[in-house]
Chains A and B, each alone.
Chain A
Amino acid sequence: MADFLQQVVAGLASGGVYALLALALVLIHRATGIINFAQGEMAMFSTYILWTLTVNHGWPYWPAFAFTLAASFVGGAGVYHVVIRPNSASSVLRVVIVTIGLLIFVNGLAQFIWTGEVRAVESPFPSGTVDIGGVVIAWSNVGTIAVSIGIVVLLWLFFQFTKVGLAMRAAAVNPAEARLVGVRVTHMLGLGWGLAAILGAVAGMLTAPSLFLDPTMMQATLIYAFAAAVLGGIDSPVGAVVGGLTLGVLLNVLSWLSQYGLFDWFTEELRLPTALLIILGVLLVKPSGIFGRTEVKRV
């Protein structure tokens, strides 16, 4: 039983990372109605900023962390204003291609600056374990879960209790009417892209100590985040978090059970296909996800 709970906690930690990136996807989808295929690469790029600051410039971890968040925010908002907004008036497909172009570009840029070499990123959390009622949990897992939850709560407070948060929600729900009551919609959407980039950056920095940093680091995570977002409902922030955590726990528990002969078809190389099977399954059974609302189409 303790063994099982340990797996669940480890699953929650990786799930927290999926949840953060899924939340970034949801934020952008709600605000601009598109899926940012470059979200993972942007997160990877942010993590390189942290690595450069801590390793090359000798910054302590948390100041570097804060600076990376600020840089990611500027970068995310900049991406929106420079390449997304000018294209967003036309078809969805064009914006999809732009984000794919961005994916290729950012990946190339990271390789260009930092080469493809694998880098170790330090963990901000102590390396030991903590024993809670017989369940042994790594501090890094505790830290990852705490930071993920903290960020989600902060974000919720921001959207619920600040004027800017309200304006952003208004801009996302009904841009035309928001504009009429004086909300500067494009600024709000830019803010949304910036916040999404911050979420991605946190996901990248939390996952880097265990995955190691290289330009492909976030590609699989992005797909898990897609699965999480679809599972929870691509328009629902709560859904993204629940979806991410569920996915993390599910995958971990499956691979744990497969050691005991249960679900023995489940091998490491099937982690990704399983996540994708979830995407397909959810899309086919209930495309709006667990927490999403179905949209009614008007002629």
Chain B
Amino acid sequence: MSGRARRLGVPIAAFVTLAALALLLPAFVSDFRAQQFAYVSIYLIALLGLNVLTGYTGQISLGHGAFMAIGGYTTAILMADHGVKDVWTIPVAALVAGLAGFLFGIPALRLSGLYLALATFAVAVALPGLIKRFAGFTGGGQGINLFGTDELTASLTPVTVLGQELSFNNWLYYLSTSIALVLYVVAWLLLRGRTGRALRSVRDSETAAVSFGVSLARYKTLAFGVSAAYAGVAGSLFAIATTFVNPDTFPIALSIFLLVGVVVGGLGSLVGMIAGAVFIHFMQTQWAQDAESVIPDWLPFLGDLDTDSPGAPALVFGGVLIALMFVLPDGVAGLLQRLWKAFARVRS
């Protein structure tokens, strides 16, 4: 095998295996689990996009929930007011959010590091207020309901795809997972070549990148646009999955969780995003609540933690997050890399 083929062989084989497993999953799990994993795929899409911006280009965004909101509202408005079928709204949501991201990227060129984090944070915090203010267009605080509409596939009756009858949750899982897989490959293709190199050079040293002829303006706005388009797709699927949008569907916490997911997964790693997506979904919905059964009783203070009491899930979530930064400074991807290196050393 030539070097190039070997370099590509392992990741491609791993990806194909993973994709096959992902597509077979609903056969082995309950309907409820399928819905949960659909959300994992949705988060994965958003994380892949955010990673292009934060992990590969070095631009911190604490406001990616805002781009998800743009995608989600695009889908909801198209479905409710214009009678567009849900799947067709997804590419439109990607375009609208991508354009918004590209435009936001232009003023953001002036900012870097924590200033950019604050600016994006400002956008995400301001958004719910603005959505409420323009109620005529967005439905205001009431939001837009999609449940039971004709535009929502499989909402009331199962849908038949390729001869298979799918419930809403299974349909949702296949829809978001197949989109996530496609976008995973797209991100991989985008990042492995010339563009990826340019983005990484911007991350590592802007000054050096410019002196090598990399246009900061071009690549930063590109990264913003691409990453916002991913967030738009995720937001669109999120609206479809929850069958409802209102200003609280995309709270500031969502933006924060996305950044958490990217860091926990591992900055600058695509595989890591899967772990990041699993982390943010299950941490929010389950692990923090179930922590009682996992934490050993002999631990002082935590041992008799009653997770039914208010605040306990947040306590666990925050604690785990801080602990993770100590134990896995480079995220799950960093851990995998270390294990892989150790394995390679043992073999040779």
Contact = CB atoms under 8 A, between A and B. Distances in A.
A60 interface: no
B166 interface: no
Given A100-B260, A299-B208, A279 B122 contact: yes
A113 B54 CA distance: 36
Given A279-B122, A283-B115, A98 B325 contact: yes
Interface in B306-323: 309-319, 321-322
A112 B129 contact: no
A108 B207 contact: no
A286 B325 CA distance: 33
Contacts of B113: 92
B282 to A, nearest CB: 16
Contact of B107 (A106, A107, A279, A284): A284
A223 interface: yes
Interface in A259-292: 267, 269-270, 272-273, 276-277, 279-280, 283-284, 287
Contact of A279 (B54, B119, B267, B311): B119
A101 B314 contact: no
Dominant SS among interface residues on chain B: helix
Contact of A276 (B115, B125, B260, B267): B125
B208 to A, nearest CB: 7
Contacts of A83: 322
A226 B315 contact: no
Contacts of A279: 118-119, 122
A267 B135 CA distance: 14
B322 A111 contact: no
A83 B320 CA distance: 12
A94 B263 CA distance: 7
- What 7 A-B pairs are tightest by C-beta distance, nearest first? A111-B311, A105-B318, A108-B314, A101-B321, A104-B318, A108-B315, A112-B311
Nearest to A277: B126
B119 A272 contact: no
Contact of B311 (A34, A101, A215, A267): A215
B110 interface: yes
Given A283-B111, A287-B111, A96 B310 contact: no
Given A270-B129, A297-B207, A105 B319 contact: yes
A93 B260 CA distance: 10
Interface of B: 54, 60, 107, 110-111, 113-115, 117-119, 121-123, 125-126, 129-130, 132-133, 205, 207-208, 256, 259-260, 263, 267, 309-319, 321-322, 325-326, 329
8 contacts: A34-B114, A93-B267, A97-B259, A101-B318, A270-B133, A276-B126, A287-B115, A299-B208
Given A97-B325, A109-B311, A284 B317 contact: no
Contacts of B118: 35, 226, 230, 279, 283
**Chain A, interface residues (CB within 8 Å), range:** 35 or more
A101 to B, nearest CB: 3
Contact of B325 (A87, A270, A273): A87
Contacts of A267: 133
B54 A93 contact: yes
B314 A272 contact: no
A210 to B, nearest CB: 21
B310 A276 contact: no
B312 A112 contact: yes
A94 B329 contact: yes
A198 interface: no
B322 to A, nearest CB: 4
Nearest to A269: B129
A280 B119 contact: yes
Contacts of B318: 101-108
Interface in A149-195: none
Give the residue among B117, B121, B122, B260 with the most A Cβ atoms within 10 A: B122
A106 B311 CA distance: 9
Contacts of A115: 310-311
B213 to A, nearest CB: 16
Contact of B60 (A93, A98, A104, A284): A93
A115 to B, nearest CB: 5
Given A98-B322, A115-B310, A272-B126, A299 B316 contact: no
Contacts of A111: 310-311, 314
Contacts of A223: 122, 125
Interface in A176-227: 215, 223, 226-227
A97 B125 contact: no
Contacts of A113: 311
Contacts of A126: none
Contacts of B326: 86-87
A92 B115 CA distance: 12
B260 A97 contact: yes
B315 A299 contact: no
A134 interface: no
Contacts of B54: 93
A218 to B, nearest CB: 14
B132 to A, nearest CB: 6
A91 B114 CA distance: 12
A90 interface: yes
Contact of A101 (B119, B309, B312, B322): B322
A17 interface: no
Contact of B117 (A29, A96, A297): A96
